[in-house]
A and B are shown apart, each in its own frame.
Chain A
Amino acid sequence: MTLKSLLLVGGALLTGTAASAGGYQVTLAGQKNNGMGGVGVGLSLDQAAMFYNPGALAMVKDRGVQVGVNLTMARNAFVAQGGSQQRELRNTVTTPFNLYAGFGPAEGKFRAGIAVYTPFGSKLQYAEGWEGRTALTDIDLKSIFVQPTVSYAITDQISVGAGLVVLAYGAVNLQRDVPLPDSYGHIELDGKADTKLGFNAGIFFKPSDKVSLGVNYRSKIDAHVKDGDVTFTGIPASFGTRFEATKFSATLPLIATTSIGVGLMPTEKLTIGIDANFAQWSKYQSLRFDFDQQINGQTFSESKRNYKDALTVRVGGQYKLTDGLTVRAGGAYDETPVRDGYVTPETPDNDRFSGTLGASYSFGKFGVDVSAQYVSIQKRTETQQQLVNNGTTDRIAGTYKTNIVIPGIGLNYAF
């Protein structure tokens, strides 16, 4: 899950909306979209438009509720520079979900709705004793976003919409080993994010039955954890006085994402979507933790990130085979925001390619959506020399490769 989002985002602590915003390939906000490479900004498929482009919500024919859940299974391999031993994650599965409810008059120009989604339910647990243990052993991010949304069709062809994005729940747990001269201790940072607000707004334009266009902007939110708990374990008494912190605070920029999308409907049965997402990752320059008391003489730690803005391109389509059955396929290319020599174990990132499949079957007002994504994060190598040159030797040199498989299922009911 967002393995990437996880980390990308925050190194993640709570990274938030931005990553979930579809700026990344592992975007799981709508089960239909999931099967189509994550497109949606230029389409008005279903209630998930609240996430992809609130402006399109008013053009969604049905009102209804829909829920979806995904199983995210990340598989990672790491070999330290010069080594030959492959390290693999202690694998975990997370279950991000989404829920939408859309309301409005049947023939009216208004639509309103509420969206709940979990862009980061991520978890990475590295192998016991792996080479990067002093950088990270475990990371677990949980977040729930709630987004009340309204949309209005100004004309038959153009509609606008906006949602108030509420970071309703955010939790982070970061753990790593502490190097001591003759052993290792362990530090765990565990905290909850303050509730924060942002917005999600969009415009949707449908000049004809065959073409639609969308523009969407999701704002930046600075997720802030205050009074998180710091817990040390395995520190021998002789070093106890060096590790006194009990609380930490940290702030993470959940960066803004701007998207444009095009929808093409050459026939009544075929819909094609093309999206581009521009994520302003350059706001993420460093990850800093402030502590209430010293750790090894320091009351803070700061680690360089130096991310750059990144572009994602998505293509997907659906075809209505029968009255009940619709099939989908898609793909995406996601440019990494992580520069060479800045890769961290929380985000063993690189450019990623993903392929998706999906299908829906409709039983009248009820429908079932299934989707599957396969994400291949390209092999990424960084050398100790790069780390030394960048002043980023707090992480580890080596080669990472990650694949992610994400099957998902959703149910929907139209009023």
Chain B
Amino acid sequence: MNTFLFRKVTPFVTLLGFGLTACQPDLEKDFEASRGTADFTRYIAVGNSLTAGYSDDGLYLEGQQNSYPSILAKQFRTAGGGEFNQPLFTEAQSNGSGYLRLTGFSATGSPITARVAGNAGRVAGAPGSAPYTKFDGRVDNLGVPGIRLADIHTANFGNLGGQTGAPTAATFNPFFERITPLGNSQSYFQRVKAEAATATFFSNWLGNNDVLGYATTGGVGGVITRTDTFTLKNNRIINALTANGAKGIVATIPDVTNVPFFTTVRVADIRARFKAGNAALDVYIQTTGTAGAQVVRLATDNDLLTLPSSAVIGTTTTGNPFPVGAGLNATQSNPVPNQFVLDATEQTSVRNATTAFNTAIVNKANEKGLAVFDANSFFSRVAASGFVTNGVNNTAGFISGNLFSLDGVHPTPRGYAVVANEMIRAINIQYGASVPLINPNDYRGVKFPQ
């Protein structure tokens, strides 16, 4: 090769080198995180079990680590957010209150679950139950499983020593007790107000339990909170959270009749099961009649059976020739007990309350200019048509749907991740922020036995 050729080719090769280094495209600058008009310096989360990360009918370490507030805080950190402390169970007490796990499937394909014993109790000899070992560090996730909005002003709500008579769910909450200094009589509201004094951003998702307790007990246990009480207390807590100018997001209450707790055990399936054995049989239920009396009647496809009913239906009862749920007519039957049935009237009560509560939540949020995650319409859409996350199908189905945990009400880590993403979308719109979404597929659905 002569030098002439070399001279001619060299610039060409140099150009090629430039081309290569310039080749890798860079999109990151197009998608930089920003906080908009929000300030995530100190984020606090107010709410119930959903906010605490409750899953599989228990509060345990893995659930806490995948709570939507912890996911939000992690994403806020890319946009100026600060430290976020959750009252995590220690590794040694990672089973927390105990929880359900999937152990397998029956021959007919029904899931079999077993309870993992809790290990966070602080009373020697009762590690599996409350009272739990106190958490005395800073708490930014104030989610308290079981709390109703109706309970927020209850004094001594986290003070065992302040109870007069036996504690009930309405007077005392063991999860609030866990994060309340010993002997402190403060209400949940007082605690929130104290934390809100230094918060710059908050999420508030209270109110689910004001209707859930009624629904999950088939209208037998628990009462639906009065709308005026709900509205008043919701206004008060939002006022307290925004008193120092903090911005935030609130979430509406999903219609609980869309969750697997009410959609997995279906009258039509039970009827088919009975008729396969004896065509004369049908499904009978016990329910509350017009005058408040217990009545037994033929079940219709509009009656919702709860998830726990699956453990009862079909079992035998001493002295009754029919298995539970089966019968020939109203008098010759072994009806499904009332607490496992949410009939049409009860469903209407649940829906009306949900609608009224959500109106109160949205009105107050609009008044304060807060972001709103409409969990009700979101989960209705999920129930109707599923929800695809980065190419992976998810539904509101039990176990197979990925989003709901083994209790049929609370989300899986995947479900909480989806909730966090939807909240981020609402926050980004309301405050002109660009908080990045996470990939929900990095979070598991129901854990299967290995």
Contact = CB atoms under 8 A, between A and B. Distances in A.
Contacts of B434: 84
Contacts of B392: 134, 179
Interface string B294-328: 00000000000000000000000000000000000
B291 interface: no
Contact of B27 (A79, A239, A407): A79
A181 B393 CA distance: 10
Interface stretch (A111-119, A226-234, A258-266, A391-399): A391-399
17 contacts: A77-B24, A79-B31, A80-B390, A80-B439, A82-B437, A84-B31, A84-B434, A132-B390, A134-B392, A134-B441, A135-B391, A181-B447, A181-B448, A372-B19, A379-B27, A399-B30, A405-B16
A238 B23 CA distance: 45
Interface stretch (B4-12, B117-125, B129-137, B355-363): B4-12
B23 A83 contact: no
Contact of A79 (B28, B388, B402, B424): B28
Interface in A165-181: 179-181
B156 interface: no
A374 B23 CA distance: 8
Contact of A131 (B15, B78, B439, B447): B439
A74 B393 CA distance: 31
Contact of B23 (A75, A133, A135, A182): A75
A379 B12 CA distance: 28
A61 B31 CA distance: 55
The 4 closest A-B pairs by CB, nearest first: A82-B437, A84-B436, A401-B25, A181-B445
A394 B447 CA distance: 23
A216 interface: no
A34 to B, nearest CB: 13
A357 B19 CA distance: 12
Given A82-B424, A372-B16, A394-B391, 12 more contacts: A79-B30, A80-B390, A82-B436, A84-B33, A84-B434, A182-B445, A325-B4, A359-B12, A372-B12, A395-B391, A399-B30, A403-B23
Contacts of B441: 131, 133-134, 179
**Which of B12, B23, B393, B434 is the most central at the interface, judged by chain A CB atoms within 10 Å of its CB?**
B23
Interface residues of B, number: 46
Interface string A152-190: 000000000000000000000000000111110000000
B425 interface: yes
Interface of B: 4-5, 8-9, 12, 15-16, 19-20, 22-28, 30-33, 78, 388, 390-393, 399-400, 402, 421, 424-425, 434, 436-439, 441-442, 444-450
Contacts of B4: 325
A387 to B, nearest CB: 8
A181 B78 contact: no
A83 B437 contact: yes
B25 A77 contact: yes
Contact of A75 (B24, B31, B446): B24
A386 interface: no
Contacts of B31: 79, 83-84, 86, 399
Contacts of A180: 448
Contact of B19 (A80, A135, A396, A405): A405
A384 interface: yes
Contacts of B26: 77, 86
Nearest to A176: B391
A374 B12 CA distance: 13
Contacts of A85: 436
A384 B25 contact: no
Contact of A238 (B15, B25, B402, B450): B450
A106 interface: no
A250 interface: no
B42 to A, nearest CB: 22
Contact of B437 (A81, A387, A399): A81
A62 interface: no
Contact of B8 (A182, A359, A372): A359
Contact of A183 (B33, B400, B444): B444
Contacts of B12: 357, 359, 370, 372
A78 B5 CA distance: 41
A404 B447 contact: no
B58 to A, nearest CB: 17
Contact of B439 (A83, A404, A407): A83
A300 interface: no
B9 A73 contact: no
A181 B444 CA distance: 6
Contact of B448 (A81, A239, A393, A402): A239
B5 A393 contact: no
A106 to B, nearest CB: 29
A413 interface: no
Nearest to B448: A238
A131 B16 contact: no
Nearest to A325: B8
Nearest to B5: A361
A276 to B, nearest CB: 26
Given A181-B448, A379-B27, A403-B25, A80 B437 contact: yes
A82 B444 contact: no
B425 A82 contact: yes
A182 B15 contact: no
A207 interface: no
B102 to A, nearest CB: 9
A134 B23 contact: no
A76 interface: yes
B439 A403 contact: no
A70 to B, nearest CB: 12
Contacts of B390: 80, 131-132, 134, 396-397
**Which of B33, B390, B447, B448 is the most central at the interface, judged by chain A CB atoms within 10 Å of its CB?**
B390
Nearest to A345: B391
Interface in A55-83: 73, 75-83
A370 B78 CA distance: 47
Contacts of B399: 181
A182 B444 CA distance: 5
